[in-house]
C-alpha cells in the first residue's frame, strides 16, 4: 500500500518506523524541510518527501495524519475529498462541532476513517476484555484510570483532551456502551487557557469511571482499575501487566466481611500496539471498511471531553445529550 504520512514529530517518527516495517511504500509530508531531511536519512527517497501534502495525494491510497489536533479537520477533509482513506491520530478534532463536520466528510467520501485510539489495540486491553467476557470479576461496579506524568504540555489541546481521552474511549470499549453524563474538576495552573489537571467522572450508564490526567505527578502513570462484584482487574499499560484480585464482601450477621481470595497475574501477550493499529487500518482500507475505530467513535470521545470542560466550568453534571444538541 502507498501511504502518505503527514507529520514528523515525535509520534510521527514512530509511525514512519512501523509503516516501513509493515511493508508500506511511504511518502512523507511535513512543513519543516529539516524534518524531511531527517526522513531521507531514515531511508525515505527524497522524491517521496514534500512540504505540501496535497502534492502527494495522487500517488497514495491512504493518508496517516499525525499532526496537532487543530489541523485535523482541514487535512482530513482535503484527503477525503481526494478519495483517500485516513488514519487520524487522536483526538479526532479540537471540538465536537469540528468532529461532526469530519464525520459528514467521511460519509460523503465513502472512505475509511480510523481514529488513533491506540489503547484498543494494546495487549493489556485484550486481556482485560477476555477477563470481563469470562465474568472473572462479575458485574462491573466502577472503574478508575490514571494517565499522568511530569512532561511538556501540548499546546493544541488540554491534558484531558490529549491524555484522559485514552480512558474515555477505553472504558466505552471495555464496557460496551457510550458515556451518558460527565462531572469534572479542571485546573489551569500554568495559565495557558488549557487544563493541565483534570479529574473527571464519566458515567457509562450506571457504571461511573473516574479519570485523572495531569502534567505534574513525578514518574509515568498509565494504570486503570475495573472493580466488579467478585474482584478487581488492575492493569498497568506501562508495565504491560494485568492482575486479577479475587474477593468480595460477604454479610455476616449485621456486619460485612471482606473476603480476600488472592490474586492472579493474567497472561498479556501481543504485538506492538501501533503495529496492530496500523495493520488494522491497512486491512480496512483494502476492503473499504469497516474501521475498528471509526469517525463516530472518535467524535464520541471528543463530545465527552467537551462535556467535561462544560461540567468543570458550570460546576454541575453535564449529560451527553446536552453536547449533542448544542
Q: pLDDT, tens digit, for every residue of 226-235?
A: 999 999 999 9
pLDDT of residue 326: 77
Neighbours of 250 (CB within 10 A): 10
What is the C-alpha separation between 316 and 93, in angstroms, rounded? 25
pLDDT of residue 236: 98
Grid cell locating 281: 487500518
Q: Is residue 319 part of a domain?
A: yes
216 and 251 assigned to the same domain = yes
Provide, rounded to the nearest whole percent, the portion of the chain with pLDDT above 70.
100
23 and 110 assigned to the same domain = yes
**CA 241 centroid distance within chain:** 19
Q: Is residue 142 part of a domain?
A: yes
Q: What is the DSSP letter of 229?
A: T
Q: Is residue 298 part of a domain?
A: no
Q: Over 80: is that where the pLDDT of 309 sits?
A: yes
What is the C-alpha separation between 231 and 229, in angstroms, rounded? 6
- Domain count across the chain: 2
pLDDT of residue 2: 97
143 and 240 assigned to the same domain = yes
103 and 192 assigned to the same domain = no
CB 113 within 8 A of CB 295: yes
83 and 156 assigned to the same domain = no
Domain that holds residue 163: 120-271+303-324
CB 65 within 8 A of CB 7: yes
Q: Is residue 239 part of a domain?
A: yes
pLDDT category, 212, cuts 50, 70, 90?
A: very high
CATH number for the domain that contains residue 125: 3.30.360.10
Backbone angles phi and psi of 51, in degrees to 5? -90, -10
CATH number for the domain that contains residue 97: 3.40.50.720
28 and 160 assigned to the same domain = no
pLDDT of residue 313: 98
34 and 155 assigned to the same domain = no
What is the C-alpha separation between 85 and 176, in angstroms, rounded? 26
pLDDT in tens, 182-205: 999 999 999 999 999 999 999 999
Backbone angles phi and psi of 98, in degrees to 5? -65, -40
Query: Which ranges constitute the DSSP H helices of the chain?
Result: 10-21, 33-41, 72-81, 96-109, 123-133, 159, 165-175, 273-287, 295-314, 320-324
Picking from 296, 308, 62, the residue whose alpha carbon sits closest to that of residue 182 is 308
Q: What is the radius of gyration, based on Cα positions, of the chain?
A: 21
What is the C-alpha separation between 201 and 185, in angstroms, rounded? 9
pLDDT in tens, 96-110: 999 999 999 999 999
262 and 136 assigned to the same domain = yes
Q: Is residue 8 part of a domain?
A: yes
162 and 214 assigned to the same domain = yes
Amino acid at each position: 500500500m502507498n501511504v502518505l504520512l503527514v507529520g514528523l514529530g515525535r509520534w510521527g517518527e514512530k509511525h514512519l518506523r512501523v509503516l516501513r516495517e509493515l511493508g508500506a511504500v511511504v511518502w512523507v509530508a511535513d512543513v519543516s524541510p529539516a524534518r524531511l531531511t531527517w526522513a531521507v536519512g531514515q531511508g525515505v527517497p527524497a522524491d517521496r518527501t514534500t512540504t505540501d501534502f496535497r502534492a502527494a495525494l495522487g500517488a497514495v491510497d491512504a493518508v496517516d495524519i499525525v499532526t496537532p489536533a487543530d489541523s485535523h479537520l482541514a487535512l482530513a477533509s482535503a484527503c477525503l475529498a481526494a478519495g483517500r482513506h485516513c488514519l487520524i491520530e487522536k483526538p479526532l478534532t479540537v471540538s465536537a462541532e469540528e468532529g461532526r463536520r469530519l464525520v459528514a466528510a467521511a460519509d460523503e467520501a465513502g472512505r475509511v476513517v480510523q481514529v488513533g485510539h491506540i489503547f484498543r489495540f494494546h495487549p493489556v486491553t485484550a486481556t482485560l476484555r477476555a477477563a470481563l467476557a469470562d465474568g472473572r470479576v462479575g458485574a462491573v461496579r466502577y472503574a478508575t484510570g490514571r494517565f499522568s506524568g511530569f512532561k511538556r504540555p501540548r499546546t493544541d489541546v488540554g491534558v484531558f483532551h490529549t491524555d484522559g481521552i485514552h480512558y474515555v474511549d477505553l472504558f466505552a470499549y471495555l464496557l460496551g456502551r457510550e458515556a451518558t453524563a460527565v462531572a469534572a474538576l479542571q485546573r489551569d495552573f500554568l495559565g495557558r487557557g488549557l487544563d493541565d489537571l483534570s479529574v473527571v467522572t464519566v458515567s457509562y450508564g450506571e457504571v461511573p469511571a473516574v479519570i485523572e490526567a495531569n502534567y505534574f505527578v513525578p514518574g509515568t502513570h498509565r494504570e486503570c482499575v475495573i472493580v466488579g462484584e467478585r474482584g478487581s482487574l488492575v492493569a498497568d499499560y506501562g508495565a504491560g501487566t494485568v492482575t486479577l484480585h479475587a474477593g468480595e464482601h460477604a454479610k455476616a450477621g449485621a456486619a460485612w466481611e471482606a473476603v480476600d481470595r488472592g490474586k492472579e497475574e493474567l497472561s498479556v501477550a501481543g504485538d506492538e500496539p501501533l503495529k496492530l493499529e496500523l495493520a488494522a487500518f491497512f486491512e480496512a482500507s483494502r476492503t473499504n471498511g469497516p474501521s475498528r475505530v471509526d469517525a463516530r467513535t472518535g467524535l464520541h470521545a471528543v463530545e465527552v471531553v467537551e462535556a467535561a470542560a462544560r461540567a468543570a466550568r458550570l460546576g454541575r453534571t453535564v449529560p451527553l445529550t446536552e453536547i449533542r444538541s448544542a
